[in-house]
Chain A
Amino acid sequence: MNSKPTTDPVCGMKLGEGAAKDFLLYEGREYYFCSVGCRAEFERHPEDYAERAQSKTE
């Protein structure tokens, strides 16, 4: 997957360039994941993970 270096918001793993296995768009923001499982987990609790991801980037 063509992705920039980022952090998986579910498991907290650092993902190097192109290392993401999945992604989704939530409330206008892209989130990248190390696995299908982390994406599915994000979809089950999107507010929790989006909030945590935002607080880490602020």
Chain B
Amino acid sequence: MCRFLCYIGPEILLSDLLYSSENSLILQSYKSKERKEPLNGDGFGVGWYTPEIGPTPCVFRSLTPAWNNQNLQRLSEHVTSSCFFAHVRAASPGMRVGEDNCHPFQCGPYLWMHNGTIEGFWQIRRRLRASLPDHLYNSIEGTTDSEHAFAVFLNLIGDIDRKHSTSELGQTLVKTVAHLEAWTAETKSTAPSYYNFAVTDGHSVAAIRYVSDPKVEPASLHYAAGRKYECANGVCQLVDCDAGEQSVVIASERLSEDNSHWTRVAPNHLLTVSKDLDVNVELMAIERRDSAFDLLAEWRQDSRAMSN
């Protein structure tokens, strides 16, 4: 389990986002509040977009804990963007600690982050990898369940050079979960998987808060929309603003204690943010692991009907 943060809105300084809020991601890396184990020190990563240079994001990952990486601090004081993904890692048991395993993962214009675990990953890994075309199979550099899930997403979204709508991004995320759950169901495991995923192409963001058993509490995920991320005297917070200054922040933990600015993402719901910062929350088509097979069969049938 880890902690992550997405920002989309007017251009801001990375250091303001990472270091300067009341419960910043850097603070969460050693003192997270909504996990039983507060440390997230098995590496970190940040990704950001510079549209004036090109559509692919820059990614900086390191194996050191985020709280004592001077390069991150120096770099972040000179990087601005209108779309950031940032992640601090707490490696799941059995998952190697290494730079290749730090999030966010990147392919083409996409960035991907995960907080959670695929239950029985080592039992489904061969099956999952066999479903991938060569270029995606070979694109997996690390060993995490998270990066493998990203490869499944990329396989389902198809041509990564084509611009996909916000809705396509979100629905592909949901389909990814359905495939992962169907493979896990074949192992007969009843233990839950935790899928808090976030994905972006630099224009739209899609995120989910999901657990296989809807009666179990999923990992935390919150969002704040319609406010400006403003910094004054070294402290950053979300404040009321005009329409053109609004931003959306999605985070494993609220960045401030002020609950009125933050909304919990409902369990097993999909949150999408469009280029124009329109926020939509909807129930995921897959609500639990045991509905995965039926759902995939239904989608296959729909797809056949459309192609006839």
Tell whether B268 is near chain A: CB-to-CB under 8 Å: yes
Given known contacts A37-B268, A41-B266, A13 and B214 CB-to-CB distance under 8 angstroms: no
Residue in contact with B267 in the complex, picked from A12, A13, A38, CB distance below 8 Å: A38
Give A38 to B215 CA distance when docked, in angstroms: 9
Residues 14-47 of A contacting B (Cβ, < 8 Å)? 34-38, 40-41, 44-45
Which residues from A are CB-within-8-Å of B217? 40-41, 44
Tell whether B269 is near chain A: CB-to-CB under 8 Å: yes
Tell whether B95 is near chain A: CB-to-CB under 8 Å: no
Which residues from A are CB-within-8-Å of B160? none
List the interface of chain B (C-beta within 8 A of A).
211, 214-218, 259, 264, 266-269, 281-283, 287
Residue in contact with B214 in the complex, picked from A8, A11, A40, A45, CB distance below 8 Å: A40
Assess the A10–B266 pair: CB atoms within 8 A: yes
Assess the A11–B287 pair: CB atoms within 8 A: no
Which residues from A are CB-within-8-Å of B218? 37
Using CB atoms, name the residue of chain A closest to B259.
Answer: A48
Using CB atoms, name the residue of chain B closest to A44.
Answer: B217
Using CB atoms, name the residue of chain B closest to A40.
Answer: B215
> Least Cβ distance of B224 to chain A in Å?
14
Give A57 to B77 CA distance when docked, in angstroms: 45
Residue in contact with B281 in the complex, picked from A12, A41, A44, A45, CB distance below 8 Å: A12
Assess the B283–A36 pair: CB atoms within 8 A: no
Assess the B287–A38 pair: CB atoms within 8 A: no
Which residues from B are CB-within-8-Å of A35? 214, 267-268, 283, 287
Which residues from B are CB-within-8-Å of A36? 214-215, 287
Which residues from B are CB-within-8-Å of A45? 264
> Least Cβ distance of A49 to chain B in Å?
9
4 A-B pairs with the lowest CB-CB distances in the bound complex, closest first: A11-B266, A37-B214, A37-B267, A37-B268
Using CB atoms, name the residue of chain B closest to A9.
Answer: B266
Assess the B282–A40 pair: CB atoms within 8 A: no
Which residues from A are CB-within-8-Å of B211? 37
> Least Cβ distance of A10 to chain B in Å?
5
13 residue pairs bridging A and B, Cβ less than 8 Å apart: A8-B266, A10-B264, A10-B266, A11-B283, A13-B281, A13-B282, A34-B283, A35-B287, A36-B214, A36-B287, A37-B268, A40-B215, A44-B217
Which residues from B are CB-within-8-Å of A38? 266-267
Give A55 to B267 CA distance when docked, in angstroms: 22
Of the listed residues A11, A12, A38, A44, the one surrounded by the most CB atoms of chain B closer than 10 A to its CB is A11
